[in-house]
């Protein structure tokens, strides 16, 4: 009798939200132009420049027709939609999807990153609507002198999920600090113009250079209107073998994501109870400002910034039987474990009185905290 233990080890996936199950900010972003950051699926960062149209991002729900990942337990993916790029491919145009890893997680992973005989293995599922799209993927070490390793997926068949696996050795020039900063980036170079490409050797480490992030690449994806790219099942693990994907519970994955972003208020998740969603207890510091404290469910990566969606009468200060609607919220102080926020904009109360802060009747109201890398 033998036990199958190879693929049952927990905590081997160094990637958070690799299955795209957590999307605290929302499931679609179709209206923001010039995005440089996180929009839908947590930990998945998009950036672009030179686009003639908005690049949409979605948390996509998979079905049994998604041959490949569905059978492996994946129910969500990260999807981008290219839009209408009528201006063609400019030399400075670019579109990148990026995952940033906390340095100390990699430093303590067991990978001897300075040794060419020690390996990490990256695996993921990818699908493109553009036939023969050969997607460059760059690993970038951040500390010290930046080092870059680029490989390509190979030509993808249109609208067909493909499992990609790549084993990557260490290199004596890599530096990974044992801190909470950015240690390693995984960059999907969906398109980069010739200002950022040149002649490089794939499948080998080199000193990073902005002007040579990849070899010259086809502009077919960039210039195809409404082209789509889909990603899921991102796993990075120590060793030279790709094991089965480590599916974690939603609660486990959410808590890991909340180290970098925590959505405290999202009335749209409340269903019939969306109105008057609790935020915190507060007090009137003066007649036009009320302060409250929010404690975070997990310790965040660093002192977070405030993420908010506000508008007229988005919030409600309730004191006894009196409601005092107000319009906006701002950050007073923050720490990795808590924050003080204050409400202004048409506030009218009695200094020193306590009050209950909640959302009003607009489900678009948001209060979150961003400590992303």
Over the stretch 206-257, which tens digit does the pLDDT of each residue have?
999 999 999 999 999 999 999 999 999 999 999 999 999 999 999 999 999 9
What are the pLDDT digits (tens) for 164-187?
999 999 999 999 999 999 999 999
- 3-state secondary structure (DSSP) of residue 257: helix
Quick one: three-class SS letters along 75-111? Answer: CEEEEEECCCCCCCCCCCCEEEEEEEEEHHHHHCCCC
Write down how long the chain is.
373
What's the mean pLDDT in 44-69?
Answer: 94
Whether the pLDDT of residue 313 is over 70: the answer is yes
What is the rounded CA–CA span in Å between residue 62 and residue 18? 14
pLDDT for the residue numbered 256: 98
Q: Residue 211: CA atoms inside 13 Å, Cβ hemisphere, count? A: 0
pLDDT given at position 354: 95
CB-based contacts of 268: which residues, under 8 Å, 6+ apart?
Answer: 274, 363, 364
Average pLDDT on 74-79 reads: 98
The yes-or-no verdict on residue 79 having pLDDT over 90 is yes
Tell me the backbone φ, ψ of residue 252, rounded to 5 degrees.
Answer: -65, -45
- pLDDT above 70 coverage of the chain, percent: 95
Q: What rounded mean pLDDT belongs to the chain?
A: 94
Region 135-156: mean pLDDT is 97
Q: Is the pLDDT of residue 115 over 50?
A: yes
Please report the pLDDT score of residue 5 as a whole number. 47
Q: What is the pLDDT of residue 272?
A: 58
Q: How much is the average pLDDT of 42-60?
A: 93
Token representation of residue 105: 């997680």
Task: Return the pLDDT at 3.
Answer: 45
Distance CA 254, CA 271 (A): 20
Please determine, for residue 32, whether its predicted confidence score (pLDDT) is greater than 90.
no
Q: How far apart are CA 279 and CA 80, in angstroms?
A: 32
Cβ contact 139:168 at 8 Å: yes
84 or 108, higher pLDDT:
108
Model confidence pLDDT, tens digit, residues 251-260: 999 999 999 9
pLDDT at 199: 94
Q: How confident is the model at residue 271 (pLDDT cuts 50, 70, 90)?
A: low
What average pLDDT score do residues 43-71 get? 95
Q: What is residue 250's predicted lDDT score, i.e. its pLDDT? A: 97
Residue 70's contacts (CB-CB under 8 Å, 6 or more residues apart) are 62, 63, 64
| CA angle (183 as vertex; 177, 186 as ends), nearest 5 | 160
- pLDDT reported for residue 4: 45
The predicted pLDDT at position 34 comes to: 65
Q: What is the pLDDT of residue 87?
A: 85
Q: How much is the pTM? A: 0.94
């Amino acid at each position: 009798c033998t036990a199958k233990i190879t693929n049952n080890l927990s905590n081997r996936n160094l990637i958070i939200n690799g299955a795209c199950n957590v999307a605290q900010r929302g499931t679609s972003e179709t209206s923001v132009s010039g995005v440089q950051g996180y929009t839908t699926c947590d930990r998945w960062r998009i950036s672009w420049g030179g686009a003639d149209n908005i690049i949409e991002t979605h948390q996509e729900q998979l079905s049994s027709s998604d041959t490949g990942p569905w059978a492996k337990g994946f129910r969500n993916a990260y999807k981008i939609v290219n839009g209408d790029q009528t201006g063609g491919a400019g030399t400075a145009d670019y579109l990148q999807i990026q995952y940033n890893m906390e340095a100390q997680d990699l430093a303590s992973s067991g990978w001897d990153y300075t040794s060419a005989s020690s390996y990490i293995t990256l695996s993921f599922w990818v699908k493109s609507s553009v036939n023969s799209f050969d997607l460059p993927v760059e690993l970038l070490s951040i500390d010290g002198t930046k080092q870059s390793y680029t490989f390509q997926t190979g030509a993808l068949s249109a609208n067909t999920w493909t499992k990609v696996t790549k084993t990557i050795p260490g290199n004596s020039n890599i530096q990974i600090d044992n801190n909470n900063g950015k240690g390693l980036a995984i960059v999907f170079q969906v398109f980069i113009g010739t200002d950022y490409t040149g002649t490089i050797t794939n499948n080998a480490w080199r000193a990073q250079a902005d002007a040579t992030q990849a070899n010259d690449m086809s502009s077919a994806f960039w210039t195809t209107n409404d082209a789509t790219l889909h990603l899921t099942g991102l796993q990075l693990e120590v060793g030279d073998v790709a094991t089965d994907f480590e599916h974690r519970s939603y609660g486990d994955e959410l808590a890991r994501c909340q180290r970098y972003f925590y959505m405290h208020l999202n009335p749209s998740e409340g269903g019939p109870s969306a109105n008057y969603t609790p935020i915190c207890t507060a007090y009137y510091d003066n007649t036009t400002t009320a302060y409250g404290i929010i404690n975070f469910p997990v310790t965040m990566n660093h002192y977070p910034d405030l993420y908010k969606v506000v508008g007229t009468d988005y919030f409600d200060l309730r004191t006894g039987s009196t409601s005092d609607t107000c319009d906006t919220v701002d950050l007073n102080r923050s720490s990795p474990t808590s924050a003080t926020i204050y409400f202004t904009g048409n506030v009218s109360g009695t200094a020193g009185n306590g009050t209950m802060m909640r959302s009003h009747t607009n489900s678009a109201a948001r209060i979150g905290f961003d400590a992303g890398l």
